[in-house]
A and B are shown apart, each in its own frame.
Chain A
Amino acid sequence: MKFNPDKNGYYGQFGGSFIPELLYPNAKELEDNYIRIIESEAFQKEYKALLKDYVGRPSPLYLAKRLSEKYGANIYLKREDLNHTGAHKVNNTIGQILIARELGKTQIIAETGAGQHGVATATVCALMGLECTVFMGEKDIERQAPNVARMKMLGAKVVPATSGSKTLKDATNEAIRYWIQNPEAYYLIGSVVGMHPYPDMVTRLQAIISEEMKWQLKEHTGKENPDTIIACVGGGSNAAGAFYHYLEDSAVELIAVEAAGLGVDSGESAATSQLGEVGVIHGSKTILMQDEYGQIVEPYSISAGLDYPGVGPLHAHLFETKRARFMNATDKEALTAAYELTRLEGIIPALETAHALAVLPKMELKSNQTIIINLSGRGDKDLATFIKHLEE
């Protein structure tokens, strides 16, 4: 089975580039250049140097002993939370800012949900001295105040998206509309979503996660492959990165965890694979949550980063071909898992990441099973939510 897209950006039946004609030259310019740039020696040298000295990679692969003891398996945490800016998002923004610079772009736009991608974009824009505008749902601006403050301090302009559900989907719509009107800007997408070539480009830039996992796990155990990899999925960039170098090795079980919100069938959920059908969102054919007339449904999750009605086309393909197993966790299960990791290991995970941890009690684990959980981000930004639920 192959997991790279074809020339039109399709993974099986998913992907492609359903965009207004106005965006065609922009997408085409990127499509014609991204692989050449990423594979060039100059890019690789600078990208790897920045990941090492600026981001702090490689991120550790940590054997979580007390967590392992509790669940009776060998559980490793890939510590993306220790990256500069606090999540895996920066792997992608470092790469794309170098691509944008190579293409001669000076104005950067981005969308953000939880604010992690917005912060990671504002950070690399400050680093490169480029102008940065971040679109963020009005509702997310309220629930992720610390990240809004960080973006502003970094010099970014934060534009509230006031249309639709006022969350990530609408921030993405607004970013695309702005791009249509300002085609000279570079759109730095934060996940493996959107029109071709973004899903593939972001996957390649996040693939550093599984590239490191291979040699790190070998150092720990003598083997490159774990039995299972678990990652949370909103759009799916951390999961794409954590899965990438294991995709063709079918012995490695891949688990994608979606946000079930108040419960998959509660009407307040973001479990796209369970509730969605084939459709087009943000330029990509994928699985998305929609009503019987194709109107996109407003998702719900306590976690702003998983509150997205679609998944990246690679994940839709992994779901359809059953290469990955799709599980989900509710708000409550995620909160419980976040407290558990904090008390057992002294690590406060992001609410998004907590969903990946929350499936451990639902799995039948073997004592010799080796599991890597991609600890995609840290929970500083979610303290207000955590504290509120501590009091409850």
Chain B
Amino acid sequence: MIKNKTMNSIQQIFQKNDKNLLSIFFTAGFPKLDATKAIIEGLGENGVDFIEVGLPYSDPLADGPTIQHSSSVALRNGMNLDVVFNQLQEIKDTNTTPLVLMGYVNQIIKYGEDAFCEKVVACGIDTIIIPDLPMVEYENHYQTLFKKYGITNVFLITPQTSEDRIRKIDSLTEGFIYMVASSSITGAKGEISTQQIDYFERIKAMNLQSKLIIGFGISDNETFTKACEYGNGAIIGSAFIKSLDKNGIEGIGDFVKSIVS
């Protein structure tokens, strides 16, 4: 396959395969400060399609108790942006699984917007998710900044997002839209309701140009399989954090198998 330079790392994945994609989120610095490399390698070896690296934050508004807890532990462990960037730069040449960074907007502002983007690029990452960066702020400011560095921003849509707004988000998206499965913070609920199915079908029927990756509340084989009927794949976060907490890095293989089996 000819590598298309205009495609970002996640779009290249979609070109190879756009069904049943599994993405796993973990919080950098949890359970141990230096676990980043082993977690990324473990997930990659077990066939995870792309990995979200969470930048632990003191006040993560969109996150439920599990990720909040992992963030607190990570910060207590001494994790910060410089440490995580160093860790990611060290594995840049050996890691083959695309990485997506997930953090909150204040971390970017304080680090320095250009400095942050430079580091992201230096880590070989081209896709980021900032759950508290709204579309209007993106269009007024961050779009130009990210373009300068070749960074793609991932937008979220929810059951409450209007059709007009989804169309607009679709037009701004290069790659995938993060489809929040329900009105919830991360880590909520265990099964998918008929209401959610209606929402998934409504979005599917819109025939968006963007790929759809479903997240929030995806935790096991059943919810993953269901989500993949409507989207191109799904993201699992809190359930993986819980597994890490209980079974450690050695448990990664069993966890991934329990999802995709």
Task: Please give the residue numbers on chain A whose beta carbons come within 8 Å of chain B beta carbons, in ascending order.
Answer: 8, 16-22, 24-25, 163-164, 169, 173, 176-177, 180-183, 277-283, 285, 288, 290, 292-296
Contacts and interface: CB of A to CB of B under 8 A. Distances in A.
A8 B135 CA distance: 12
A45 B246 CA distance: 60
Contacts of B158: 21-22
Contacts of B155: 21
B210 interface: no
A290 B68 contact: no
Interface in B53-111: 57-59, 61-62, 64, 68, 72, 75, 80-82, 104-111
Contacts of B220: none
A141 to B, nearest CB: 19
A169 B61 CA distance: 11
Contacts of A24: 134, 160-161, 165
B59 A281 contact: yes
A280 B105 contact: yes
Among B59, B104, B155, B180, residue most surrounded by chain A Cβ atoms (within 10 Å): B59
A279 B110 contact: yes
Interface in B161-189: 161-162, 165, 180, 183-185, 188
6 contacts: A17-B134, A169-B59, A285-B109, A294-B111, A295-B57, A295-B75
A292 B110 contact: yes
B143 to A, nearest CB: 15
Contacts, number: 103
A180 B82 CA distance: 31
B185 A18 contact: no
A288 to B, nearest CB: 8
Interface of A is mostly: mixed
B133 interface: yes
B123 interface: no
Contacts of A296: 58-59, 106
A106 to B, nearest CB: 17
Nearest to A9: B136
B41 interface: no
A163 B69 CA distance: 9
B58 A20 contact: no
* 8 residue pairs, one from A and one from B, having the closest CB atoms: A294-B110, A295-B58, A294-B107, A21-B156, A280-B106, A20-B62, A293-B80, A25-B160
A176 B64 CA distance: 11
A352 to B, nearest CB: 23
A18 B138 CA distance: 10
A164 B58 contact: yes
Contacts of A292: 110
A132 B191 CA distance: 29
A295 B133 CA distance: 17
A290 B184 contact: no
A20 B216 CA distance: 13
Nearest to A292: B110
Contacts of B185: 177, 180-181
B61 A177 contact: yes
A180 B62 contact: yes
Contacts of A280: 104-106, 109, 132
A291 to B, nearest CB: 8
Contacts of B109: 278-280, 285, 294
A53 B207 CA distance: 57
B68 to A, nearest CB: 6
Given A177-B185, A281-B106, A18 B132 contact: yes
B61 A176 contact: yes
B136 A8 contact: yes
Interface in B117-168: 131-134, 136-137, 140, 155-158, 160-162, 165
A17 to B, nearest CB: 6
B110 A290 contact: yes
Contacts of A169: 59
Among A19, A22, A173, A278, residue most surrounded by chain B Cβ atoms (within 10 Å): A22
Nearest to B184: A181
B132 to A, nearest CB: 5
B169 to A, nearest CB: 9
Contacts of A164: 58-59
Nearest to B160: A25
